[in-house]
Structure 1
Amino acid sequence: MCMFNSRNPVFRYPTGAVANCLPVHFKIDMPRDLRCSAARLLVENDSTGETQVLDMFWCGMNGDNHEWWECHFAAKTPGLYFYHFEVATWRGVLNLHKGFGGEGTVMGNDCGAWQLTVYDRSFHTPEWLAGGIMYQILPDRFFSSGKPKADVPQDRKLHTDWSDQPEWKPNGKGEVTNSDYFGGDLAGITEKLNYLKSLGVTCLYLNPVFEAHSNHRYNTANYEKIDPLLGKEEDFKTLCAEAKKRGMHILLDGVFSHTGSDSVYFNREGRYSTQGAYNSQQSPYYAWYNFRNWPDDYECWWNFNTLPNVTETNPQYNAYINGKGGIVRRWIADGASGWRLDVADELPDAFLDNLRTAVKMENPEALVLGEVWEDASTKNAYGKRRKYLLGEELDSVMNYPFRDAVLGFVKGADPAQMMEIILDILENYPPQVIRLLMNHIGTHDTERALTVLAGAPTEHHDRRWQSETHLTEKQRQLGLQRLKLAAMMQYTLPGIPCIYYGDEAGMEGYKDPFNRGTYPWGHENTDLLAWYRKLGKLRGMLSCLKEGSFVPLNADDHTMVYIREDSVDAILVAMNAGGNSRTLYLPDEWRTAEPVFGEAPDRNCGLTLPPCSGTMLVRQKHPSPSGPFALGKPETPEEAVESIKDKIMENMEQEPKIKNELLDFLKNI
């Protein structure tokens, strides 16, 4: 019998991360034959190293052979707390530590501790992104409007054929300059907004759009100007305005840990008339950088001398980025709905605090999302534990752990281990963060998902091999099957699915720059595209995919089954990543549920999943008169108002949150 499980509300309530000052109830279930005479909960404050010991009290029997011990703990201060139990028995003092699946294991020696994340009780994250779909665009490679551009530097090579492969060979000096361009621009993105709307997209995450002298634009030259190949500030304002008409928001990429050496701030290449830090120690930008021996010996991002690091805590730099009228606030005022922060784990806490303040002062509902590759709740950087998710810095993060779980499961990794990755994140992150997690399976920094799922690994292969190697037809068919399954999982896990541009069209490619090809307009895989559109429609219809609970049912033998559920509806997701059919037995209430993907279950034999396939079943708890998934659309505004009033009254007691959302909507009619 289980003695303790941190994910089970019988043993710990509430489960998951909690707000500060909220009492957490702990119970352990001890066998009577151990003759327990005392039990204690030991909680270590991660920031101070101090351990608090709480006596647990005997609180009754659990059957004839087990007994309950309990206590409460409340943390006044946000932070991380690690806990385990000590039990005095006839065999001596036993330690109850964290085992697989959150369950307790009794050991004599110190082992793993459970984590309790305590966030600031005032922590609020934006509402507009919850339940939505994100789409990541590398602007140069998405679509070109064909509009003429002014003031484009002459040292850029512009491809004349949209289907060319990006350049990867070093130049005569052995340098890879990333100076070839395809001409995608902001006006081109605006032209394709209806296409993006057809996918259900609600947020466009744009890789850097500011002036920079490389096609990826992570070497910022001027934070105040849109890159001339992408257009002008007016093009950006138009994109934001047109996107909002379609219910979409624009998320900008903020590269604030370094600039380009070829920039108005550093000006090593002498392109600009300004006195950059490289040109003069009297430059207004000199204090932004850390020179070991001016001008040629300076700190760089990962030792790339074209990317000089900035000192983010420098008052002048901080004011330039985060101050009143600074970069962060200026572009939100122009229409952006927030920032994705490049290498957020390399930005100091003080800078992140100031940036969040600047963002929220300009727009309290603007998003601050950070690039963190690990579990962001336990990340160490700058020699200390970071506090990204406690309420003062980030709203959410890029969810690389979920990427590992999704791609791992689909490729045949142990489903129980992949489920453990998912449940660890759900246990460690605040719910406000979870609902906005950027759940991607590919980005500009990774190989294309289709290539990962079916291609040969890149170990021991150089860039030439990567440039010449493509999926065979057999590999591609397998990859497409697996990608559909991965997308099914990506779209139904807690958080926000993020499509890397072109994945929905069947793009493939190994590492940079082969993962950054141009979108194949007119040559999309239409079957895959229809799959993504159907998934997008499903997310728009189901309330439970916004903030519903996550209940794992099965994770073994190449299969994974889980439920997302709230007070309105529920979905059961069942997937088989193996090469043979699997039959699964479902809870009784799901045997008559409506299939929206895959086949319906047999009421007697269970659910049979063919190889590399999945099924989704939906149950509606409060069906509307217009259909099983969504409210009907009345014909007149007057009917709309009356319909909403009826819905408000219907939900007065059973669903206050829906009531408030509908009342807000009613005010705007």
Structure 2
Amino acid sequence: MSQSRTSTTSTPLSTTTSQSLSPTTTITAPPKRGLEPPKGNYSPIYTGSDKGCPSGKVPVTFTYDPGNKVVTSVSLRGSFNDWGEWPMKEINGTWTITVCLGPGKYQYKYFINGQWVKDMSDDGTGRPYDPDADGYVDDGYGGKNAVRIVEGSAAFYVDFDPSDPAYLSIADNRTVIRFEVKRGTVGSATLVTDRGNYTMRLQVWWNSKEMWRAEIPVVEPVKYYIVLNSVDGERFAVLNTSKNPFFSFDGVDRFPQLEWVSNGITYQIFPDRFKDGNRSNDAPALDHDELLFNQVNPGKPVLSNWSDPITPLHCCHQYFGGDIKGITEKLDYLQSLGVTIIYLNPITLSGSAHGYDTYDYYRLDPKFGTEEELREFLDEAHKRGIRVIFDFVPNHCGIGNPAFLDVWKNGNASPYWDWFFIKQWPFKLGDGNAYLGWWGIGSLPKLNTTNPEVREYLIGAALHWLDFGFDGIRVDVPNEVLDPGAFFSELRKRVKEKHPEAYLVGEIWKLSPEWVKGDRFDSLMNYALGRDILLNYAKGLLSGETAMKMMGRYYASYGENVVAMGFNIVSSHDTSRVLTDLGGGSLGDTPTNESIQRLKLLSMLIYTLPGTPVTFQGDERGLLGDKNHYDEQRYPIQWNEVNGDVLNHYRALAELRRKTPALRSSAIRFYTAEGGIMAFFRGHNDEVLVIANSWKSPAELELPLGEWKVVWPENHAEGIVSGTIKVPPISVLVLERG
């Protein structure tokens, strides 16, 4: 997409204020009218598909020639895409991709056949992986990243691509249109449509960029273009092409927002450590543990009582007996927390306490109970308005998987030989040097998801459990699955055809919008928001201004429909507990008052941002746990221990979210940030203002015009406020327009 300029003369455009409504408002569509080209003096900016890169950016090509090596997939990952995945295409034996980059210095690596390249300067033959690299730097892990230096000037530009949900999406039954520009270059903007004109407003900002937004309060076919005025007094029209100047949206929502997710509150359960409801199924865990199969690192699993101390096997092979019946017994407790979504860690047959080494994708692990108990759990959850998503592991399986055992026994005579990547045979079970495994771990052989039989086996399993009664799928390490574009596109297509309301969320830890364009996932596990930004802000490590800029980049990268379905997580089975991260101590310690206050601040932000807030089991009870000590964050919940203040706080958060529709909407707009404070609006008409202060000193904030009612905390001394407000240290205030 590039910019060209000409001038034309006629009468100026008129503008009207955009319609901003609450999610429950009944909307009457304005009548259609003829759409006229812009009039007056202006410079056109064409962003249609017949153009190249937008102004201010240049095309940069990356290549890889594998020679005689067998290569099935290559992706580009670097500082320009937060080390996410940009798939490269194979053309005449060479893998290539051309992307638009602004001026700067970038580090990058190739991800080949599901594995990171170690040293970009040497492909094993003395040649660099990319002959056009401008240099190399240490990657911090004993290898080297390649470097590209992009020349150019940061001229005035507009980024707008209506095929990308980041720029056009359907959220809260509205058509949302946004564009990106260089920070501080635009003074005003108008969305001109055949239904009328809508004033566009500055929504979010980050570093040198910002995003402007307008919403059309209907989802119907519309023709449109954008007119903007620069701060220098120039006037521009953002158009499609010179031959077809109007953009056209056909009114079809191809990437629907799941409102049950947007309105929901999620609770993550690690089944073996949640509650033991049936002691009779505890012992079966020992019958098929991975250590019994492993010929390289054999061992003996442990079955412990619920309050027994942690052993070195705690992460993976120390069992405590938690099961499905135990979860069913706690459904009323979860309902009291406002929970409407449960995310279960793996429950299919496996060789560990965590379950990510699947033996049988179609069978419930007997240590968790029977299928009858599972069905009762789902029925009882659904009766309470609670939906359940299950964990799905398509990248690798366990060494007790029958297909892998058949390969171990029969070598290339096995019908499953091409299901895996065998380097040498015969081999010992658990030998990570003999076959590919996840991160080289011999107990987790990697599956060949480019094999149609493997793909059918896995996708069939996902459909099996949705048919059984589950409501969605959390996918483990999708970025490491081979040919993920094809695999997850097929998974989505087949899931949505049969279960259109099923939620698909991928375990991606970084800002990676390429995964949520409408062809793979509905959302990602938003560690990029929860841990990279909000946790560090709650710790006091980021100023309000820095945190808001990082949030701006996050919210600009994703479609508003994706943001509305955000799986907003901070603490999980893979991290230390959030209270530990906030300085509360390790398992068995007594958390400080300051760490509790910081937990309240952080959880408050998670509950007031778009998407579903996710709580890891026990965090709402003030539990502690350090991941670096045998994954002690996974220690069983001791139900006789609770921090009542924290528990009441989480229940109050759920009630605030329930009674404040703006907090469940897709809409967010930044207000200001300074010092330890950041403040943002929620709702389609800026109905709610959320103000956070993560510093230890109080601050004062000038409020937007009008009267505001303090709704959080409920005991705030002032009911109605205007002008300025005092913000206590390490706190959050929530205000509604008076």
Name the TM-score, length of structure 2 as normaliser: 0.64
1:76 Cα deviation from its structure 2 partner:
5.8
Q: 2:210 aligns with which of 102, 126, 138?
A: 102
How far, CA to CA, are the matches of 1:615 and 1:77 in structure 2?
34
Percent identity between matched residues is 33
How far, CA to CA, are the matches of 2:473 and 2:276 in structure 1?
24
Change (3 A) 1:452 1:528: same
What is the RMSD computed on CA atoms of the aligned residues?
3.8
Which residue in 2 is equivalent to 1:666?
none
Aligned: 1:394 with 2:521: yes
Aligned: 1:125 with 2:257: yes
Task: Tell me which amino acid in the other structure corresponds to 2:550.
Answer: I
Which residue in 2 is equivalent to 1:429?
558
Aligned: 1:226 with 2:393: no
How far, CA to CA, are the matches of 1:120 and 1:444 in structure 2?
39
Q: 1:134 aligns with which of 266, 270, 293?
A: 266
How far, CA to CA, are the matches of 2:703 and 2:694 in structure 1?
18
How far, CA to CA, are the matches of 1:103 and 1:151 in structure 2?
55
Q: 1:350 aligns with which of 486, 497, 500?
A: 486
How far, CA to CA, are the matches of 1:363 and 1:251 in structure 2?
13
How far, CA to CA, are the matches of 2:464 and 2:712 in structure 1?
47
Instruction: Give the alignment of 1:55-66 within 5 angstroms.
Output: none
Change (3 A) 1:555 1:84: closer
Which residue in 2 is equivalent to 1:551?
669
Task: Tell me which amino acid in the other structure corresponds to 2:413.
Answer: Q
How far, CA to CA, are the matches of 2:689 and 2:377 in structure 1?
37
| Runs (5+) with no aligned partner, structure 2 | 1-14, 20-35, 60-85, 87-96, 102-155, 169-178, 183-204, 213-229, 232-248, 290-299, 428-433
Which residue in 1 is equivalent to 2:310?
166
How far, CA to CA, are the matches of 1:277 and 1:215 in structure 2?
24
Instruction: Give the alignment of 1:473-512 within 5 angstroms.
Output: 473=590, 476-511=592-627, 512=630
After superposition, what is the alpha-carbon deviation per residue over 1:153-175, rounded to whole angstroms, capped at 9, x for unaligned?
Answer: 44674544322343226xxxxxx
After superposition, what is the alpha-carbon deviation per residue over 1:336-379, rounded to whole angstroms, capped at 9, x for unaligned?
Answer: 001000001123111101111221133111111101111121xx
Change (3 A) 1:44 1:80: farther
Which residue in 1 is equivalent to 2:471?
337
Asked if structure 2 preserves the Cα contact closer than 8 Å seen for 1:338 and 1:359, the reply is: no
Instruction: Give the alignment of 1:234-245 within 5 angstroms.
Output: 234-245=372-383
Aligned: 1:317 with 2:451: no
Change (3 A) 1:242 1:177: closer
Asked if structure 2 preserves the Cα contact closer than 8 Å seen for 1:290 and 1:309, the reply is: yes
How far, CA to CA, are the matches of 1:431 and 1:78 in structure 2?
7
Asked if structure 2 preserves the Cα contact closer than 8 Å seen for 1:187 and 1:239, the reply is: yes
1:501 Cα deviation from its structure 2 partner:
0.5
How far, CA to CA, are the matches of 2:726 and 2:377 in structure 1?
46
Which residue in 2 is equivalent to 1:173?
none
Task: Tell me which amino acid in the other structure corresponds to 1:343.
Answer: V
Change (3 A) 1:340 1:84: same
Aligned: 1:183 with 2:321: yes
1:431 Cα deviation from its structure 2 partner:
1.7
Asked if structure 1 preserves the Cα contact closer than 8 Å seen for 2:268 and 2:617, the reply is: yes
Alignment partner of 2:381: what SS? Answer: helix
Q: 1:405 aligns with which of 505, 523, 533?
A: 533
Q: 2:634 aligns with which of 500, 513, 516?
A: 516
Alignment partner of 1:293: what SS? Answer: coil
After superposition, what is the alpha-carbon deviation per residue over 1:6-46, rounded to whole angstroms, capped at 9, x for unaligned?
Answer: xxxx9xx99xxxxxxxxxx9x9xxxxxxxx99786675288
Change (3 A) 1:177 1:427: closer
Task: Tell me which amino acid in the other structure corresponds to 1:505.
Answer: R
Asked if structure 1 preserves the Cα contact closer than 8 Å seen for 2:206 and 2:550, the reply is: no
Aligned: 1:606 with 2:724: yes
Which residue in 2 is equivalent to 1:247?
385
How far, CA to CA, are the matches of 2:99 and 2:679 in structure 1?
40
Q: 1:364 aligns with which of 491, 500, 503?
A: 500
Aligned: 1:452 with 2:452: no
Change (3 A) 1:220 1:454: same
How far, CA to CA, are the matches of 2:567 and 2:518 in structure 1?
18
Which residue in 2 is equivalent to 1:639?
none
Which residue in 2 is equivalent to 1:288?
419
Which residue in 2 is equivalent to 1:195?
333
Asked if structure 1 preserves the Cα contact closer than 8 Å seen for 2:707 and 2:721, the reply is: no
1:277 Cα deviation from its structure 2 partner:
4.9
Higher alpha-carbon deviation: 245-254 or 160-169:
160-169
Asked if structure 2 preserves the Cα contact closer than 8 Å seen for 1:401 and 1:421, the reply is: no
How far, CA to CA, are the matches of 2:166 and 2:632 in structure 1?
41
Higher alpha-carbon deviation: 538-547 or 160-169:
160-169
Change (3 A) 1:76 1:497: closer
How far, CA to CA, are the matches of 2:467 and 2:575 in structure 1?
32
Structure having greater relative contact order (Cα 8 Å, sep ≥ 6) = 2
Asked if structure 1 preserves the Cα contact closer than 8 Å seen for 2:579 and 2:622, the reply is: yes
Aligned: 1:44 with 2:45: no
Change (3 A) 1:538 1:278: farther
Aligned: 1:563 with 2:681: yes
Task: Tell me which amino acid in the other structure corresponds to 1:436.
Answer: M
Instruction: Give the alignment of 1:562-581 within 5 angstroms.
Output: 562-566=680-684, 570-581=687-698
How far, CA to CA, are the matches of 1:552 and 1:84 in structure 2?
16
How far, CA to CA, are the matches of 2:537 and 2:159 in structure 1?
37
Change (3 A) 1:484 1:471: farther
Change (3 A) 1:196 1:472: closer
Instruction: Give the alignment of 1:589-668 within 5 angstroms.
Output: 589-597=706-714, 599-601=716-718, 603=721, 606-619=724-737
Which residue in 2 is equivalent to 1:381?
none
Task: Tell me which amino acid in the other structure corresponds to 1:400.
Answer: Y
How far, CA to CA, are the matches of 1:253 and 1:421 in structure 2?
29
After superposition, what is the alpha-carbon deviation per residue over 1:360-401, rounded to whole angstroms, capped at 9, x for unaligned?
Answer: 133111111101111121xxxxxxxxx421111111111112
How far, CA to CA, are the matches of 2:726 and 2:682 in structure 1?
20
Change (3 A) 1:607 1:308: same
Change (3 A) 1:84 1:177: closer
| Runs (5+) with no aligned partner, structure 1 | 1-9, 15-24, 28-35, 53-68, 86-96, 107-117, 170-175, 268-274, 378-386, 457-468, 621-669
After superposition, what is the alpha-carbon deviation per residue over 1:89-122, rounded to whole angstroms, capped at 9, x for unaligned?
Answer: xxxxxxxx9953528999xxxxxxxxxxx99951
Alignment partner of 1:281: what SS? Answer: helix
Change (3 A) 1:418 1:525: same
After superposition, what is the alpha-carbon deviation per residue over 1:401-435, rounded to whole angstroms, capped at 9, x for unaligned?
Answer: 21121111111112111112212121111122111
Which residue in 2 is equivalent to 1:20?
none
Name the TM-score, length of structure 1 as normaliser: 0.70
Change (3 A) 1:245 1:608: same
Asked if structure 2 preserves the Cα contact closer than 8 Å seen for 1:370 and 1:398, the reply is: yes
Q: 1:305 aligns with which of 418, 442, 448?
A: 442
Asked if structure 1 preserves the Cα contact closer than 8 Å seen for 2:396 and 2:444, the reply is: yes
Task: Tell me which amino acid in the other structure corresponds to 2:443.
Answer: T
How far, CA to CA, are the matches of 1:606 and 1:79 in structure 2?
34
Task: Tell me which amino acid in the other structure corresponds to 2:471.
Answer: S
Task: Tell me which amino acid in the other structure corresponds to 2:533.
Answer: A
Change (3 A) 1:304 1:39: same
1:560 Cα deviation from its structure 2 partner:
1.8
How far, CA to CA, are the matches of 1:591 and 1:619 in structure 2?
5
1:561 Cα deviation from its structure 2 partner:
1.6
1:291 Cα deviation from its structure 2 partner:
1.1
How far, CA to CA, are the matches of 2:488 and 2:333 in structure 1?
35
How far, CA to CA, are the matches of 1:508 and 1:180 in structure 2?
19
